[in-house]
Chains A and B, each alone.
Chain A
Amino acid sequence: MADGERTTFGDLLRPIADPPVRPDLISLSASATAAASAAVDPPHGSRAEADRLGASLKELADADARIVFVGDPGGTDPRLVLPGNAVRTAKYSFLTFIPRNLFEQFRRLAYVYFLAIAVLNQLPQLAVFGRGASVLPLAFVLLVTAVKDAYEDWRRHRSDRAENGRAAAILDPAGSGQFRPRRWKDLRVGEVIKVLADQSIPCDMVLLATSDPTGVAYVQTINLDGESNLKTRYAKQETMSRLPSIIAGSVTTVIRCETPNRNIYGFHANLEVDGKRVSLGASNIILRGCELKNTAWAIGVAVYTGIETKVMLNSSGATSKRSRLETHMNRETLLLSAILITLCSAVSICNGIWLAIHRDELELSQYFRKRDYSGGDEKYYNYYGIAMQVFFVFLMAVIVFQIMIPISLYISMELVRLGQAYFMIRDNNLYDESSSSRFQCRALNINEDLGQIRYVFSDKTGTLTENKMVFQCASIRGIDYSEGKDPSPNGSDVYYVVVGDQFWRPKMLVKTDPKLVRLLRSEGETQEGKHARDFFLALAACNTIVPLIVGTPDPKQKLIDYQGESPDEQALVYAAAAYGYVLIERTSGHIVIDVLGDRQRFNVLGLHEFDSDRKRMSVIIGCPDRTVRLFVKGADSSMFGVLEKSIDLDIIRATETNLHAYSSMGLRTLVVGMRELSRNDFEVWHSAYEKASTALYGRGSLLRAVASSVENNLQILGASGIEDKLQQGVPEAIKSLRQAGLRVWVLTGDKQETAISIGYSCKLLTSEMTHIVINNNSEAACRKSLEDAIAISSKFVAISSRAQNTVTGTGSARVPLALIIDGTSLVHILETELEEKLFKIATVCDVVLCCRVAPLQKAGIVALIKKRTEDMTLAIGDGANDVSMIQMADVGIGISGQEGRQAVMASDFAMGQFRFLLPLLLVHGHWNYQRIAYMILYNFYRNAMFVFIMFWYVLYTAYTLTTAITEWSSVLYSVLYTALPTVVVGILDKDLSRRTLLKYPRLYGAGQREERYNLSLFILTMMDAIWQSLVVFFIPYLAYRDTTVDGSSLGDLWTLAVVTLVNIHLAMDVFRWNWITHLSIWGSIAVAVMCVILIDSIWFLPGYWAIYHTMKTGLFWLCLLGIFAAGMIPRFTMKALTEYFMPNDIQISRELEKFGNFNDFTDCLYTETDIRFHLLHSAISSAASNNTKPEAHPSANRHSLPCQYSPSIVTCIFGGVTLTVVSFLPLTLPPVSPPSPPTEAMDDQNQDNYGGPNLQRSALEPLRTRWTPKPEQILILESIFNSGMVNPPKDETVRIRKLLEQFGSVGDANVFYWFQNRRSRSRRRQRQLQASLMADPRAAGVVQHAGGAATSSPSNSPGGGFFACSSSTSAAASSSNFVIDDNADDLFSISRQMGFMEATQTPPPFMCSSDVSHLHNQPETITVFIDGVASEVPKGPIDLRAAFGHNVMLVHSSGELLPVTEHGILMQSLQMGESYFSELELKNASPSSSMHGYHLRGVPCDAHQYQCLRRHSQRHGNAPPMAAFAKALQSFAPFWEPAEVVFRLSIWRKTKFTVLMDRKKPLNHLLALLLLSCLLSMDAAPLSSVDVSSLVSPAGTFALRNRDEAATKVIDKETAEEGGVSLNERTGFELDDYPGSGANSRHDPKNPGKP
């Protein structure tokens, strides 16, 4: 077991000790036992646990051993009464069922409460309800549960019977030597049992002999630990050889073994036969629950039977946890109890006072009649004095008001959770195809906790990765061979072994490096070739793999299946086989390896198994050439210590380099070494080995010592790199989880480099993160590095917070930190005072990566968080080493993967893949939390309201607790009238759809912040309940005050009112109405009405026929109607107010779902920015080459850009989002540059920079009438808006509408709303801009720096130079980085990002003289709007004169004039995304002067005037009177103000638009461009797998395509392929996983444009 990468304590859990070649020499290593038992037993206090484990390390002492006399069950261990082999899982027997079941049921508090109330009610003085009414509900619930339990138990009985009745072959104890069939349950310890192939093993038994001459037996343990591979078990030679005499009973064989325990991977025993003692280990025992495979028979002796078998000891029930919400709920339940007691006290005290006041009157008053005269002698009738009356009234009040405590809630919560679990289990998105495993809910009580998780602790191997090891590359004697090629299954390069007329080939194909293959097969004995051969021989020999030959449909072909417990070893053996070293046979003493077609037999002389101290394993092989060789493989850290350094130093160095490279690729590495043992060496070793392995005490440590003594002075052979593939969808899942505000911590046994590289590949770590590495060997060093880390982090946090404060609303200023800490450091930190420091630093960090951690340390880290925060933790893992962590965390999730079922057995939920965490937490967790939270509140409200109504009535009955509502109605109220809707809503209601929740992971925060259930919500709900109860009570009271109404009629009215109101209340809060919801809510009301009618049809009840009478009156209906309206007004008003004016994220997302038909499109826009970019690029290129003359315009000469540009304008438009890119296209570029595939790196940057999904930055236009504006329309609108007409008057609106109608139908209202929204958006922008302008430049600078680092990761998108980049500077430019993250205005973020990304890899073509020192990584261009046209401008000073010509000033949209130097260079940078207007300036005015020299559209004015006018024009859209020639131009653009026309044209002429702007028809030209841009957006859309048809009809698309064939052809061909493929990859997640979401029905991403 040379599992170099998995050297932790816990990794040893895998059954390590099983497969030794010489069975008699093997025992389980002590530490492995300890680890295994640690994992199996839940570690509660890790210290105590460690002590206990320490105890188990002790060698077996006679005193506490079980003594088994083989073949003599009677003589076996007389000290003990041993159980039979019968198992019993059933809980009850026929007789004990009723008492035991009742006992079990009454362990629930709710039932006890019910019972107490019912008992109270039986007292004659307190009989509030009739006997039936009070007992019936409880009896019903009890009965149903009892029936269910009885059924389950009957099934268990049946399976018990079947199990116990199975037949086993037992050696006849009479000594006949025959095996007789006997039932399982009659087996006893000490009996000898024979098991045949494919039979189940009836009890835990020590192997005595098997059909294999070497004593090997193969067992399948899938039912025990879930591992499907075969395990080898061995019978001792001592017993094998003496089998006949054992069977005949002629020798006394005694086994001393440990007392029964749960450790399925450990067994300690020794066996005494013929006076000879041999020791037994875990490899000598076969356990109940396993099946014998590939072995004809096996004979063993039973050592543990029945409930003492390991499988029974391990079959624990599901964990019982209590959810966070329920804990909180109990707090409110206490509050309710307080209210209940208050109400009861109030009633009883009032009653006492009333009695006291009316003491004298009551003797005679007709309604009281204190005295009973009927008996002749005068006595009190039913009156016990005031004190007793008060006491009775109190108890009666408790009975009447009992439902104040919503005990039924506990029952309905269980139902709801059951329903939720049902849907989770049935969710196709949680079904793992590859392992065909469904989601499992093992704990039913914590569904809603899934919605409140803040910390995720994840295992790496098997959880993030697939745990399917594939050999990737090798370094042999320092030479790297990593050019492997994937083999084709039938290709010539697949290595076959020819056996007779059969071809055997390894089951799994490994890619091979042709160079290495050639080297191996080359004739002649080169040194290189020899080493390579040794290397692969080592790989093939140094392991414990068992080859199994499996048939295929082709009789000539067989597959070699390598079975073994370590996937790494399997990978290595498969690799060796692929290179021609095929392990064919393993028996106990030798192995057969097909060495390049030549079968050779190697004797296995000794094997030192893997242990965590040495971290390596070795075999000693006797080779055919009679040499004896030691092969060692192990972790590099342990191997480098035992290598012979003097000779091979260079090679070791080279290997180290290779190893480093491998591990940074995320590969698991092992180093292989070899030594040829001399005769003498071998003898020395052999005698030591013999001695150690036969030692009775301390065998493990002796063997370790022997191993260490021989494993030295090794010659290095090489190293291997094994890939553990990431599971599908892990990076995306982690990204989403982090966006959701979850902190993902990875705890792994891997070494640091591997962990970090896996961290990168699964997007846990990103390049912009600052790593804090803690990697120490002593406490002092740990302390120091922790303190340093805290210092660093606090600095970062300070910077971040300062930046955040000063630049409010802009930029994700937070510098992400990653903490990497290793297990050795944790040893010194956990459970010392340093823990606090670790906690401090760890919670500041975004990511924590713990490497080389032991299982108990994993639990310790979870405990670290659990102890110190209120936050919910979730642990996810797949192996036995994760068990402790899974049990420690609030929610434990087991991955049912390769590593067996231990994790699953310990978990609360189990599933197949890590990525299922997304749907599980973000979707189901969110829903469950939301549902249960609402349900609890609603139940509180519902019951409280009913109680309050009764309470108000009690005030009018002389406090005697009469209820107008019939007793049946009050019993049925919470059981029948209102129960079903809450359960249905609790199971089925969804506030948001699955898609939305996955798209906006941050919505998960609602649960983390406990938004849906908290004390204030509870209080609000209670106040609402009081108000509604007042309404329900007093409206009928006041209406019926002066009538002849009787109590029953009024009671019926109240009943119906409260039931209906409560259901309406629920109906108002239901998010989604499907038919079940409708049915349950309206059905409940109907049922209530029917019940009331039914009750009033019973003649002996006082309310007979009352409902019929009242329903006939108008007053009744008026009261009901009035109650509904008056009752709901406050809630409805509050709801309307908060939802509209204080919407939370969920509310907005709901609106998005309902109205946001642009959702998909804008989303894809963000993720697919790169594609769009290339589309733009190529389109512009072609446009430029086709449409415009590539001659340099005169103005270009003045332009300071390094290359010539031809102007292009491209606009991408969708749903109100206009991205207008005015680009300066370098003519030197080829007309169409091949688009490169969009890289993930780029995409990630977009995503990760802000930690917030920029998916969300989609802008949606008012969609009241579902107007889908055409691109042309939007450009026009945008132009008008930017021209200053921000709020067009009515007639103007009509004009605009008419103009827009040329392109598609549109209403006046659409136009009006468009402007309204556009205006509010730009206002918002403006506010943010102002805020950002006030930013502390210093802080901004620092953060800028960090941000710069973030962007420095390589991005290989081509097309640099597409955007003009010229210079950069610090001050204002720095804020642009914040603006990147500013998402308030989506309008520009696309272009911003594009510019941003571009800049990261475009060398600044032009460097300004100003300081650029620390900004070399900055994005060099920003997008601004100049005169309503988005332009890419260089950041920093801009040569205005060069760009726009003389006399032009830039004015910010706020009216502020930008200062300019005398050379026409802007003194400050433009702000990303802002709007500027160019203004003509008086010739000789000093630009920097603030006194005068401004022109407002040609009219000179002073600065103040200027700004006023500017603002005025902004606000009112009315340009001041303009020069005369404007009129002439107005014909071009009738919708513009004359001034605007002049203004616009002048700008266009001055900039490079002149070429495009046809002298005659500027508008037409504009529209031509629009079409182009529209095309671009069209073509990009289908690529991104979204529904374009919602945006523009397909017909429109094609029509547009025809218009400009030239441009589109290029786009189609070039981008569809590349973009499509990568997109498909990216969207594949969704496509595969969410069949229900309709994603499948969307466009095939590979066929753009074809719906």
Chain B
Amino acid sequence: MNPRGDSTSGSDGAPEPRRKSKKPKYSRFTQQELPACKPLLTPAIVVTTFAFIGIIFIPIGLLSLSASEQVVEIVYQYDTDCIPEQLQNDKVAFIQSSKTNKTCTRTLTVPKNMEGPVHIYYELDNFYQNHRRYVKSRSDKQLRSKASETVTTNCAPEATTSDGSVIVPCGLIAWSLFNDTYSFAVNSKIIEVNKKNIAWQSDKEHKFGSDVYPKNFQMGGLIGGAKLNASIPLSEQEDLIVWMRTAALPRFRKLYGRIETNLAANEQITVTIQNNYNTYSFEGKKNLVLSTTSWIGGKNDFLGTAYLTVGSLCLFLAIGFIILYLLKPRTLGDPSYLSWNRNPDGHY
């Protein structure tokens, strides 16, 4: 009956007394004696760490600030601007009407020399591209291959037309494709906007099929945005591809195109905007952004400032610690600091 008790009780005890010695084999591992490094926050390490971070961070901060300084950015908000005075009170009606003239020409001044390529972005605000019901409303399978054209799960309410035929591309995201257009001219000379390669190459190659053509798109009762040329495969529809990469935040920019030429300072750029996109129904804002880039991307002072702040804080801390260490020196590993040595009867 011997093995019974042990196996049920779950103890480790090997019940067989036959084995000569049960002594655990010695190894550094089982005895928890593996060679190990025991880092300690000695004053030297603390001060060095802080100083090091400070010394590293401040130059980085300065560098990124200067990089951000070099970026020239023109932001032009046109959503209200481009609506005629008399229709300001009913913007939604203006934008929904097919009869109104949505062309809007404005002149922007280039503040500084802008070296090409100048990126053209449209910026939407208060547009929740990260809204749960919005992000889900797409079918990657359908976008990728013609074979899965009918896969429209999650695409409701833009999955099928009212007669039941499949919409390609389906879903709210595609449906709401941005459809304002911009054209630029300097001194009446039209500047060419390069709209090639604005989308990620990976998306074009793998996410959007070259054999998938738009079908039944924007045919429903409600037009969400741009229409697509049904003869161009999705992989070539770069505006759609850009748009389908949903933004992280409710205010976002998307690449519209690039101006390959340089823009000189104080040049007057005439922008012709086709103000089609309805952001008025939800009080969204629309901006046109022209910007050069640097190694940290667009204009962004935050990172530089943050680095400077953190760096100087660390330097300050380093100095503070040095002072503290000098003011209240303590021998490391002095047993007289042990609580029972300081206060023999305490701690009971």
Of A988, A1101, A1383, the residue contacting B344 (CB under 8 A) is A1383
**Nearest chain-A residue to B161 (Cβ)?**
A374
Of A361, A441, A1252, the residue contacting B340 (CB under 8 A) is A1252
**Nearest chain-B residue to A1152 (Cβ)?**
B333
Q: Does B268 sit within 8 A of A, measured CB to CB?
A: no
CA distance A898 to B223 in the complex (A): 90
Knowing A1037-B249, A1141-B328, A1152-B335 are in contact, say whether A1042-B299 is a contact too (CB < 8 A): yes
Give how many A residues have a beta carbon under 8 Å from the other chain's beta carbons. 162
CA distance A1316 to B297 in the complex (A): 54
Interface string of B30-44 (1 = CB under 8 A from A): 111111111111010
Asked whether, in the complex, the Cβ of B343 is within 8 Å of the Cβ of A809, the reply is yes
Asked whether, in the complex, the Cβ of A1148 is within 8 Å of the Cβ of B4, the reply is no
- B345: chain A residues at CB < 8 Å are 800, 804, 812-814
Knowing A374-B162, A381-B157, A1259-B335 are in contact, say whether A200-B36 is a contact too (CB < 8 A): no
Of A314, A1073, A1108, the residue contacting B5 (CB under 8 A) is A314
- A1143: chain B residues at CB < 8 Å are 330, 337
Q: Does B228 sit within 8 A of A, measured CB to CB?
A: no
Asked whether, in the complex, the Cβ of A1256 is within 8 Å of the Cβ of B340, the reply is yes
- A1636: chain B residues at CB < 8 Å are 26, 28, 31, 33
**Nearest chain-B residue to A1100 (Cβ)?**
B140
Interface hits, A1033-1054 → B, CB 8 Å? 1035, 1037-1051
Q: Does A1109 sit within 8 A of B, measured CB to CB?
A: yes
CA distance A1151 to B43 in the complex (A): 12
Interface hits, B131-166 → A, CB 8 Å? 131-135, 138, 140-141, 144, 156-162
Q: Does A1258 sit within 8 A of B, measured CB to CB?
A: yes
Knowing A1042-B299, A1100-B141 are in contact, say whether A1005-B331 is a contact too (CB < 8 A): no
Asked whether, in the complex, the Cβ of B344 is within 8 Å of the Cβ of A1073, the reply is no
8 CB contacts below 8 A, A to B, read A358-B282, A366-B282, A374-B158, A1046-B248, A1051-B248, A1109-B200, A1140-B324, A1151-B332
Of A89, A961, A1073, the residue contacting B36 (CB under 8 A) is A1073
Asked whether, in the complex, the Cβ of A87 is within 8 Å of the Cβ of B31, the reply is no
Interface hits, A1077-1094 → B, CB 8 Å? 1077
CA distance A301 to B31 in the complex (A): 51
Asked whether, in the complex, the Cβ of A1148 is within 8 Å of the Cβ of B299, the reply is no
Q: What's the minimum C-beta distance from B135 to chain A, rounded to whole angstroms?
A: 6
Asked whether, in the complex, the Cβ of B296 is within 8 Å of the Cβ of A1114, the reply is yes
Q: Does A382 sit within 8 A of B, measured CB to CB?
A: yes
Q: Does B193 sit within 8 A of A, measured CB to CB?
A: no
- A962: chain B residues at CB < 8 Å are 130-132, 135
Q: What's the minimum C-beta distance from B155 to chain A, rounded to whole angstroms?
A: 10
**Nearest chain-A residue to B144 (Cβ)?**
A1099
Q: Does A960 sit within 8 A of B, measured CB to CB?
A: yes
Knowing A374-B160, A1145-B339 are in contact, say whether A312-B4 is a contact too (CB < 8 A): yes
- A1317: chain B residues at CB < 8 Å are 331, 334
Q: Does B94 sit within 8 A of A, measured CB to CB?
A: no
Knowing A366-B225, A1122-B306, A1324-B336 are in contact, say whether A1262-B328 is a contact too (CB < 8 A): no
Interface string of A366-403 (1 = CB under 8 A from B): 11110111111000011000000000000000000000
Choose among B21, B24, B200 the residue with the greatest number of A CB atoms under 10 Å from its CB: B24
- B303: chain A residues at CB < 8 Å are 1038-1039, 1115, 1118-1119, 1122
- B220: chain A residues at CB < 8 Å are 373-374
- B297: chain A residues at CB < 8 Å are 1043, 1113, 1115
Q: Does A74 sit within 8 A of B, measured CB to CB?
A: no
Of A366, A1000, A1115, the residue contacting B296 (CB under 8 A) is A1115
**Nearest chain-A residue to B5 (Cβ)?**
A315
Of B11, B298, B335, the residue contacting A1256 (CB under 8 A) is B335
Q: Does A1263 sit within 8 A of B, measured CB to CB?
A: yes
Q: A-contacting residues of B (Cβ < 8 Å)? A: 1-5, 7-13, 15, 17, 21-24, 26, 28, 30-41, 43, 46, 49, 53, 57, 60, 64, 92, 121, 123, 127-135, 138, 140-141, 144, 156-162, 172, 175-176, 200, 202-203, 206-207, 220-222, 224-225, 245-255, 278, 281-284, 295-300, 302-303, 306-307, 310, 313-314, 317, 321, 324-325, 328-345, 347-348
- A1257: chain B residues at CB < 8 Å are 335-336, 341
Interface hits, A414-441 → B, CB 8 Å? 423, 425-428, 431, 433, 436-438, 440-441
Of A381, A1050, A1135, the residue contacting B41 (CB under 8 A) is A1135
CA distance A1324 to B134 in the complex (A): 70
Given contacts A811-B344, A1077-B36, A1148-B335, 5 further A-B contacts (CB under 8 A): A367-B134, A427-B24, A428-B30, A1136-B321, A1383-B340
Q: Does A724 sit within 8 A of B, measured CB to CB?
A: no
Q: Does A1304 sit within 8 A of B, measured CB to CB?
A: no
Asked whether, in the complex, the Cβ of A1002 is within 8 Å of the Cβ of B347, the reply is yes
Which 4 residue pairs of A and B lie closest in terms of their CB atoms, listed nearest first?
A366-B176, A1151-B333, A372-B157, A1105-B202
Asked whether, in the complex, the Cβ of A361 is within 8 Å of the Cβ of B283, the reply is yes
Knowing A960-B131, A1042-B298 are in contact, say whether A373-B251 is a contact too (CB < 8 A): no
Q: Does A288 sit within 8 A of B, measured CB to CB?
A: yes
Asked whether, in the complex, the Cβ of A1252 is within 8 Å of the Cβ of B344, the reply is yes
- A277: chain B residues at CB < 8 Å are none
- A1043: chain B residues at CB < 8 Å are 253, 297-298, 300
Q: Does A466 sit within 8 A of B, measured CB to CB?
A: no
Q: What's the minimum C-beta distance from B1 to chain A, rounded to whole angstroms?
A: 4
Q: Does A1102 sit within 8 A of B, measured CB to CB?
A: yes
Q: What's the minimum C-beta distance from B68 to chain A, rounded to whole angstroms?
A: 11
Interface hits, A329-384 → B, CB 8 Å? 358, 361-369, 371-376, 381-382
Interface hits, A927-969 → B, CB 8 Å? 956-958, 960-962, 964
Q: Does A1548 sit within 8 A of B, measured CB to CB?
A: no
Q: Does A1300 sit within 8 A of B, measured CB to CB?
A: no
Q: What's the minimum C-beta distance from A1126 to chain B, rounded to whole angstroms?
A: 5
**Nearest chain-A residue to B19 (Cβ)?**
A436
Q: Does A223 sit within 8 A of B, measured CB to CB?
A: yes
Stretch binding the partner chain, chosen from A17-25, A30-38, A155-163: A155-163
Knowing A958-B131, A1118-B296, A1636-B28 are in contact, say whether A365-B282 is a contact too (CB < 8 A): yes
Q: What's the minimum C-beta distance from B209 to chain A, rounded to whole angstroms?
A: 11
CA distance A635 to B169 in the complex (A): 99
Asked whether, in the complex, the Cβ of B310 is within 8 Å of the Cβ of A1122, the reply is yes
Q: What's the minimum C-beta distance from B83 to chain A, rounded to whole angstroms?
A: 17
- A1252: chain B residues at CB < 8 Å are 340-341, 344
- A1135: chain B residues at CB < 8 Å are 41
Asked whether, in the complex, the Cβ of B306 is within 8 Å of the Cβ of A1148, the reply is no
Asked whether, in the complex, the Cβ of B251 is within 8 Å of the Cβ of A1141, the reply is no
CA distance A1073 to B175 in the complex (A): 55
Of B127, B158, B284, B295, the residue contacting A1114 (CB under 8 A) is B295
Asked whether, in the complex, the Cβ of B172 is within 8 Å of the Cβ of A1049, the reply is no
Asked whether, in the complex, the Cβ of A958 is within 8 Å of the Cβ of B250, the reply is yes
**Nearest chain-A residue to B327 (Cβ)?**
A1141
Interface string of A886-930 (1 = CB under 8 A from B): 000000000000000000010000100000000000000000000
CA distance A910 to B41 in the complex (A): 39
CA distance A382 to B159 in the complex (A): 14
CA distance A621 to B203 in the complex (A): 106
Of B7, B30, B207, B282, the residue contacting A159 (CB under 8 A) is B7
Knowing A741-B347, A1047-B135 are in contact, say whether A426-B1 is a contact too (CB < 8 A): no
CA distance A1145 to B335 in the complex (A): 9
Knowing A364-B278, A1072-B36 are in contact, say whether A223-B5 is a contact too (CB < 8 A): yes
CA distance A374 to B221 in the complex (A): 8
Stretch binding the partner chain, chosen from A1153-1161, A1481-1489, A1501-1509: A1153-1161
- B348: chain A residues at CB < 8 Å are 741
Q: Does A645 sit within 8 A of B, measured CB to CB?
A: no
Asked whether, in the complex, the Cβ of A1047 is within 8 Å of the Cβ of B23, the reply is no
- B30: chain A residues at CB < 8 Å are 423, 426-428
Asked whether, in the complex, the Cβ of B7 is within 8 Å of the Cβ of A156, the reply is yes
**Nearest chain-B residue to A1071 (Cβ)?**
B38
Asked whether, in the complex, the Cβ of B127 is within 8 Å of the Cβ of A318, the reply is no
- B31: chain A residues at CB < 8 Å are 426-428, 1636
